[in-house]
Structure 1
Amino acid sequence: MAFLDKDYWTKRYATGKTGWDIGYASPPLVQYLDQIQNKTIEVLVPGAGSGFEAAYAWDAGFKNIHLLDFSNVPLLRFKASNPNFPLTQIHQQNFFDHEGSYDLILEQTFFCALDLSLRTTYALKMQSLLKPGGKLAGVWFAREFDFDGPPFGGKIGEYKQLFEKYFEVKMISPCYNSIPERLGSEVFMILENSKI
Structure 2
Amino acid sequence: MAGPPSNTLRDHMAKFQGENYVEGWASLWDNRAEGERLGWDRGGHSPALEDFLIQKKGFVGSPIIEGSDGQKSRKKALVPGCGTGYDVLLLASFGYDAYGLDYSEAAVETANKEAAKNRDEYGTKDPAVGQGNVVFVQGDFFKDDWLTKLELEQNSFDLIYDYTFFCALQPYLRPKWALRHRQLLAPPPTGNLICLEWPTTRDPSLGGPPFGVSSWAYMSHLSHPGEEIPYHANGDVKFDPLREVSPLGLERVIHWKPERTHKAGKDEKTGEITERISLWRRQN
- Taking structure 1 as the reference length, what is the TM-score of the superposition? 0.86
Which whole-Å CA distance do the structure 2 matches of 1:94 and 1:156 have between them?
A: 25
- Of 30, 39, 42, 2:50 maps to 30
TM-score when normalising by structure 2: 0.61
Q: Is contact 1:47–1:110 with CA below 8 Å preserved after alignment? A: yes
Identity of aligned residues (%): 25
The whole-number CA distance in structure 1 between the counterparts of 2:141 and 2:87 is 17
Partner of 1:190: 279
Displacement of 1:27 in angstroms is 0.8
2:161 aligned counterpart, secondary structure: strand
- Structure 1 residues 11-160: aligned runs within 5 Å: 11-13=27-29, 14-15=31-32, 16=36, 18-34=38-54, 35=57, 36-39=61-64, 40-62=74-96, 64-83=97-116, 89-98=135-144, 99=147, 100=154, 101-133=156-188, 134-141=191-198, 142-145=200-203, 147-160=206-219
For residues 122-170 of structure 1, the C-alpha deviation after alignment (integer angstroms, 9 at most, x for no partner) is: 1100001011121110301222346331111211223222222310110
Partner Cα distance (1:17, 1:70) in 2: 17
The aligned length equals: 193
CA distance in 2, matches of 1:7, 1:38: 34
Deviation at 1:20, TM superposition (A): 2.0
Separation of aligned partners in 1, 2:133 and 2:220: 38
Q: Which has the larger radius of gyration?
A: 2
Deviation at 1:19, TM superposition (A): 2.6
Uncovered stretches (5+) of structure 2, i.e. residues with no partner = 1-13, 65-73, 120-131, 148-153, 225-248, 267-272
Change (3 A) 1:136 1:29: same
Rate the CA distance shift 1:9–1:17 in 2: closer, same or farther, 3 A.
Answer: farther
> Counterparts in 2 of 1:142-181, with a 5 A limit?
142-145=200-203, 147-165=206-224, 166-181=249-264
Q: Secondary structure at the match of 2:160?
A: strand
Which consecutive residues of structure 1, in runs of 5 or more, have no partner in the other structure? Answer: none
